[in-house]
Structure 1
């Protein structure tokens, strides 16, 4: 994996994570690093789901894939925040 791929994964993870965090209800007591990690995982899993549904490669912007990724990030941020609150 090249350094540019790693940097782009981090940037995309940050964007997906932040958008998911904005959609998550309530306050999330997790840091920026966890938000990025959740965003990266949501981006990879969302891409796999979109590919499975056949909506990953469309002309123009892949809006459905982005929506899947952001929804997964919101669920991930909410789940992580709830586990952190339980401590």
Structure 2
């Protein structure tokens, strides 16, 4: 993974993590820091998935960003749905 890919995963993961709170219905029980952290970790996982199934070149492109965002959205929604009520904040 290149430095640009790492920075993109962190930025996109943080943004998607923050936006993922909007996708979960009701009052979020998961704290904001955990939501953002899940988004960042999932964006790195998306980078790994793209590397396994994507093109051979190691450059960053829009398809990689799409996989990062998709993975982060899914992870944030799943973790937020499983987060125990009352354990946030």
Misfit runs of 4+, over 3 Å: 8-13, 22-25, 55-59
For these two proteins, the number of residue pairs brought into alignment is 78
Q: Aligned pair in 2 of structure 1 residues 56, 44: CA closer, same or farther (>3 Å)?
A: farther
Q: Aligned pair in 2 of structure 1 residues 54, 11: CA closer, same or farther (>3 Å)?
A: closer
Unaligned runs of 5+ in 2: 1-6
Q: Aligned pair in 2 of structure 1 residues 66, 30: CA closer, same or farther (>3 Å)?
A: same
Trace 1:53-64 onto structure 2 (pairs within 5 A): 53-55=53-55, 57=57, 62-64=61-63
Q: d(CA) in 1 for partners of 2:40 and 2:56?
A: 17
